[in-house]
Structure 1
Amino acid sequence: MVYQQLIEKLKTQRLHFTLIDPDKQKIEDVEKIVKNAVDNGTDAFM
């Protein structure tokens, strides 16, 4: 389902993926990072 949504969007737009490196982020900061990325239009997380 998610794959299909990304493929459909990719037909007309660029996609933005956000990488959250667990070795470089404090667990308590992840929620803020995710919220900021979503608010700014990221399409997926890795």
Structure 2
Amino acid sequence: MNCVFDRTAEGRMIENLIAVDEGTHEVVAIVSEYAIAGLSLTIN
């Protein structure tokens, strides 16, 4: 997983969480939010 941060034209920060499969090097998920909480990233 990797987090990338960017800002919108209005100045708000956007967090992008990118999950990559290390075996195939394919992106399996991209989550873009204004705020990503740690609880939403945990696996049950």
- Of Structure 1 and Structure 2, the greater helix share is in 1
TM-score, with length taken from structure 2: 0.27
TM-score (norm: length of structure 1)? 0.27
Higher-RCO chain (CA-CA 8 Å, sequence separation at least 6): 1
Structure with greater strand percent: 2
